[in-house]
Amino acid sequence: MFIQVLKSKLHRVKITQAELHYVGSITIDEDLMDAARLIEGEKVQIVNVNNGERLETYVIKGERGSGMICMNGPAARKVQVGDIIIIISYAMMALEEAKKYTPAVVFPDESNKLS
């Protein structure tokens, strides 16, 4: 049996940009992607702390060290620059593997930078 479990999370990052007329996705600073073990094209869930919106999209690499968190495409209507969001990824694992797995949970600072 396989179950879906938390793989990684960027907890409480700030939206720095919203680009409505872009072809979907969320652009994330590559430093944050590495810390959360996210890869380009990976499906993620976005939870907006400010308004309760939840949506799914995929990751695009942003400039390393920029702190960029940019919501692109129609999902840009679900956020405002300055909103605090949580970016969550999940993985399918065998039950025994899942019991031993430790997710990457990252807590960037107010500028979306790693401590």
Q: What does the mean pLDDT of the chain come to?
A: 97
Can you name the residues that pair with 65 across neighbouring β-strands?
A: none
pLDDT digits (tens, 9 = 90+) for 50-101: 999 999 999 999 999 999 999 999 999 999 999 999 999 999 999 999 999 9
> Could you confirm whether 25 is annotated as catalytic?
yes
Point out the catalytic residue in the list 8, 22, 25, 101.
25
Q: How confident is the model at residue 24 (pLDDT cuts 50, 70, 90)?
A: confident
CA 70: distance to chain centroid?
10
Dihedrals phi, psi of 73, to nearest 5 degrees: 70, -160
CATH fold for domain 2-92: Barwin-like endoglucanases (2.40.40)
Point out the catalytic residue in the list 22, 58, 66, 90.
58
Domain ranges of the chain: 2-92
> Could you confirm whether 58 is annotated as catalytic?
yes
Sheet holding 84-94, edge to edge: 17-19, 69-72, 26-29, 54-62, 43-48, 84-94, 2-14, 104-106
The answer to whether 22 and 108 have CB atoms below 8 angstroms apart is no
